[in-house]
Structure 1
Amino acid sequence: MMTVFDRRSLLRTASISGRAALAAPGLLRAQALDEIRIDWATYNPVSMLLRDKGWLEQEFQGDGTRITWLQSAGSNKALEFLNASAIDFGWTAGSAALVARVNGNPVKAIHSFSRPEWTALVTRADTDIGTVADLKGKSVAVTRGTDPHVFLIRALADAGLTERDLTPVLL
């Protein structure tokens, strides 16, 4: 299923989320906000659209607030950037945010967009792997704590396997 976003709903969501977060206790500033640092990622079409169209820049231009974009390579990197104070807002998959929170990282969800994500288990064409069950005894690359990791565990369970039945290559 493809989701279509219109400019108005994207701007409303980003603006409300950003302004609500900035007005949260302890974050409201007496002077104007000079900059908002936000990540974008190729796995996140909403962030790419906002960045490419310049809609946040247009929205905050009247306030004199500069929008600075930093590319992340995945939810784990966005969370690392948040923890290092390199960005103010990051995009992350649900399981990565949950794992970060469980591990004591001080992240706060200010907006949630719920649509099923796609995930694919892929292999080279020259292997004898044709089903999830064929992964038994094989090496599988995965970033622990991400949605694809959760989907891998589910796929293995559906095939009667667990992570102990393969060699995870953790990224």
Structure 2
Amino acid sequence: MKKIGLLSTALILALSVIAGCSQGGSKASTIRLDYAYYSPLSLVIKEKGWAEETFAEDKVEVTWVLSQGSNKALEFLNSNSIDLGSAAGAAALISKSKGTPIEGVYISNKPEWTALVKADGSSIQSVSDLVGKKVAATVGTDPHIFLLRALDEAGIAAKDVEIVNLQHNDGATSLVTGQVDAWAGLDPHMARVELENNAELFYRNVDFNTYGFLLARNDFAKKNPEKVEKILAVYEKARLWTLENMEEATAILAKEANLSPEVAKKQMERNDFTQPVPGDAQRNTITEAGKVLQQNQIIKSDVKLDELVNNLIQPSFAEKVVK
């Protein structure tokens, strides 16, 4: 009886080990990606099924998570809920300064996706008019950083403006309903209120927009470099396809984000898809944003900014893929 008991115990242990290995193998055979309405290439890839097609022969399952803003994508990356995510460069810098283990491996778009927006009929004419006003922004995202840089350029302290922290779509609604005086907007919501509600972009500066980055978790990139290269190859396929098929790419954006064709077209017109490899242009833009973020104590003053930026921007994967 003792022998039977020992055999049963051994069998149970063996089955547990096999089950554990099976679960680990399942986890290792998955790649977790995000898609975002501010990242048109991610929408094209998801719609076309190119990621699933690429990883099918390796029996790697692709799972998708919607990022509503850079802040959400960075939360997913920090919590190890996704392996690669889409976020603005300056927002990624803030997150990395707080310990999020990420690296920017690809530039999905150079957008003018943010500007300062006022409602139809508003008396606001310039950034200077924002003193004492309520301005909606999603804290920690490119629109928020854009707002801080615009205020700094105008010689206005952030404390002289009441920044109302709202997710992007709620900020758009608050502007239209008069709950705030202005909004640091983000496409496609910005394009929508511009066309449907006669909102006006009263301050624009394309150089304050800090690029759309595809970010990888450090540990995932280190352990799975071949997967990172494969997904970047998929992004590169989508980028080249989009440049040749802008009308269809715009239709995909409209469908996924539930936009009118006119709104989707305006958003796509504000995107440049010709600079996929991260490099000096992104370093310079993000460094300048970082200086303002340190002035506003969002990034600690003792952080070595140049070192932080260099650790964030990792072009090696894109250099292998982009021809």
Question: Could you say which TM-score interval applies, normalised by the shorter chain?
Answer: 0.7 to 0.9
Question: 5+ residue gaps in structure 2?
Answer: 1-23, 167-323
Q: Deviations over 1:87-112 (max 9, x none)?
A: 11111110111111101122233334
Task: Note if contact 2:36-2:42 (Cα within 8 Å) is conserved in structure 1.
Answer: yes
Question: 5+ residue gaps in structure 1?
Answer: 1-28
| Equivalent of residue 29 in structure 2, options 31, 34, 40 | 34
Match of 1:122 in 2: 117
Q: Are 1:148 and 2:143 an aligned pair?
A: yes
Given residue 160 of structure 1, which amino acid in structure 2 is its aligned partner?
G
Task: Note if contact 2:41-2:108 (Cα within 8 Å) is conserved in structure 1.
Answer: no
Task: Note if contact 2:136-2:164 (Cα within 8 Å) is conserved in structure 1.
Answer: yes
Rounded Cα–Cα distance in structure 1 between residues aligned with 2:144 and 2:40 = 21
CA RMSD of aligned residues (A): 2.2
Q: Are 1:74 and 2:69 an aligned pair?
A: yes
Q: Deviations over 1:35-63 (max 9, x none)?
A: 21111110111111111111111111111
- Larger RCO of the pair (alpha carbons < 8 Å, separation 6+): 2
Task: Note if contact 2:77-2:100 (Cα within 8 Å) is conserved in structure 1.
Answer: no
TM-score, length basis structure 1 = 0.74
Rounded Cα–Cα distance in structure 2 between residues aligned with 1:114 and 1:61 = 27
Larger Rg, first or second structure (1 or 2): 2
Question: Of Structure 1 and Structure 2, which has the larger fraction of its residues in strand?
Answer: 2
Task: Note if contact 1:32-1:65 (Cα within 8 Å) is conserved in structure 2.
Answer: no
Counterparts of 1:15-164 in structure 2, within 5 Å, are 33-113=28-108, 115-164=110-159
Determine what percentage of the aligned residue pairs are the same residue: 47
Could you tell me how far 1:73 is from its partner in structure 2?
0.5
Q: Deviations over 1:2-32 (max 9, x none)?
A: xxxxxxxxxxxxxxxxxxxxxxxxxxx9889
Rounded Cα–Cα distance in structure 1 between residues aligned with 2:40 and 2:72 = 17
Question: Of Structure 1 and Structure 2, which has the larger fraction of its residues in helix?
Answer: 2
Q: Deviations over 1:116-166 (max 9, x none)?
A: 533121122143223222111101111223221222122223333221221
Match of 1:12 in 2: none
